[in-house]
Structure 1
Amino acid sequence: MLNFSLSPMYLVRSLKKNFQLIKTLTKRDILGRYKGSFMGLLWSFLTPLFMLSVYTFVFGEILKVRWTDGSSGDVPGQFAMLLFAGLIVFNLFADCVNRAPTLILSNVSYVKKIVFPLEIMPIVLILSTLFHTMISFIVWLAVYVILFGVPQSTLLLLPVVITPFILLMLGLVYFLAAFGVFVRDISQVVGLVCTALMFLSPIFFPISSLPDAYQQVVHLNPLTIPIEQIRNVIYFGELPEWELLANYLSISILVSIVGFYFFQKTRKAFADVL
């Protein structure tokens, strides 16, 4: 029976050892989304640009919706920009966790290869999704420059703010990828949970507009802190709430370690089930 190390340091060594393989698989996954399409990778730019244009027109021009947190007044285009920023974070999360349950199931050939480092597959998924998220942020930034001018200097803190969120997703992907091998219905459950989390997160509204009791409930949503903090640094020009971010990072590290532990503990049975 094969034994796999449960130590997080094993993952670190594997990442160093298989760097080129991770790079190749990530590139293949990115290009694979647009395989056979006429415009190919250009769709990764056009899609977020189109969606942001729709949000700006519908919410700004037709519905006249405004962001009602009282922080910056009635600014044209503000609601669409803040909405799109929140949706970028949600789409990053949803894309990762929705694909995670079938990650191993869709790569059965790798499971059968004893020498293949199966632990890098969640990393490839995260990196591939981050690529498209980066494109969306670039589109967001370009529109911001057009509408509002020079971006906030706190934008440089975006990698710091998003890193804990990435670690949290990594742990969830490891757990769901392993769990999905044994319980196929988990994909349906994850889809429902993602939909619920979207409407229970401050994507369409500022959390400050809610009563205190509801704010506490919304803060239990793992998307709330990343959405709020990312908006603060890229739009409002505010520094992150460091203590809140540190607590979130601690939980994210714990989730990533537990997720990796579960993945390594169960992967010896993957081949038998598949």
Structure 2
Amino acid sequence: MLSRLLHLGHPIFLARHRWLVLQMVRREIMARYQGSVLGASWGLLSPLLILAAYTFVFRGVFKARWPGGSDSTAEFVLQLFAGLLVFNLFSEVLTRAPRLVLEQPNLVKRVVFPLETLSWVAVGAVMFNAGIALGILLAATVALGSHLTPWVLATPLVLACTVPILLGLCWLLSGLGVFLRDVGHVVGPAVSLLLFVSPILYPTSALPPFVADLLWLNPLTFPIEALRGLVLKGTPPDWGALASYTAIGLAFAFLAHRLFERIRPAFADEV
């Protein structure tokens, strides 16, 4: 399995069909904002509106403060936004993946079309939005008086390490979603639950050691904590954890793609 995984022609590495994927990602992004009055500005406004809503509820209404930090609203906003940035990556992929293949019946029935690229297109589109959100986070950090260190240059690595897991989730859920339509109904509540079992509204350091150890099994925990460390604390990432996270993601993506390819011949009969 390792030799096949390391082969650069494997879909995980996008060595093949990369130009097709780039064109489809571009079309996906343009279609998302086509016809709206504000156009691509929604890419900036959407994360800001979500952040404003959460800040109002948790900071304004419940008077919450960031555990282990000061009573500063700015600190609360930045910590929360860093967590939401990673959460939105996963939530968008999870909510869309079950219908990814079902929404493309014409492509499914074209034998020559590489259906595995649909997952790359979905991940590429959400990564574009994450890039915008990251720019907002960095700009807000500076505007609110915090100092960025050179470690902030490693933030793209943190986002990149989530790509294999996101691809694996896309291949797994989009393949199963063709045969099990209930997958789409299960994902919605699961995403809502994911918000509270991930260190978005709190840091892992605020939890008892046993619970914190369990939380590291959550695929959102490492990128959230790593992003906060790079941007808000100016500390380097745990390189060993980064490598392990990426390796596990690649293995998961490989297995998910293998399942996707195995059940793919039956897609045309179900769509």
- Mark yes or no: TM-score above 0.5: yes
Greater CA drift, 40-49 or 198-207: 40-49
Within 5 Å, give how 1:1-274 maps onto structure 2. 9-12=8-11, 15-55=14-54, 59-60=58-59, 63-69=62-68, 73-274=70-271
Partner AA of 2:178 in structure 1 = V
Assess, with a 3 A threshold, how the Cα gap between structure 1 residues 52 and 250 changes in structure 2: closer, same or farther.
same
The runs of 5 or more residues in structure 1 that have no matched partner are none
Tell me if structure 1 keeps the 8 A contact 2:5–2:254.
no
How far residue 193 of structure 1 moved from its aligned partner, in angstroms, is 1.6
How many angstroms does 1:229 deviate by? 1.1
C-alpha distance in 1, partners of 2:120/2:7?
13
The more displaced of 18-27 and 6-15 is 6-15
Q: Distance in 2 between matches of 1:149 and 1:21?
A: 41
Q: Could you tell me how far 1:35 is from its partner in structure 2?
A: 2.5
Structure 2 segments unaligned to the other structure (5+ residues): none
**Residue deviations 1:115-156 (CA, integer Å, cap 9, x gap):** 111111100000001111111111111111110254222111
Maintained 8 Å contact 1:52/1:81:
no
Distance 2:176 2:6 in 1: 19
Q: Which moved more, 1:218-227 or 1:117-126?
A: 218-227
Paired residue total: 268
Q: Judging changes above 3 Å, is the alpha-carbon distance between structure 1 residues 156 and 7 closer, same or farther for their aligned structure 2 residues?
A: closer
Which stretch shows the higher mean deviation, 77-86 or 112-121?
112-121
Identity of aligned residues (%): 38
Q: Deviations over 1:11-70 (max 9, x none)?
A: 349934422221221111112222321111111112223333455566556654322225
Cα distance between partner residues in 2 of 1:6 and 1:104: 24
Q: How far apart are residue 243 of structure 1 and its match?
A: 2.2
Asked if the contact 2:107/2:115 (under 8 Å) is kept, the reply is yes
Check 1:181–1:10 CA distance in 2 against 1; reply closer, same or farther (3 A cut): farther
TM-score of the superposed pair, with normalisation by structure 1: 0.89
Cα shift at 1:258: 0.5
Compute the RMSD of aligned alpha carbons.
2.3
Return the alpha-carbon distance in structure 2 between the equivalents of residues 13 and 171 of structure 1: 9
**Secondary structure of the corresponding residue to residue 105 of structure 1:** coil
* Range moving further from structure 2, 174-183 or 16-25: 16-25
How far the C-alpha of 1:163 sits from its partner, in A, is 2.3
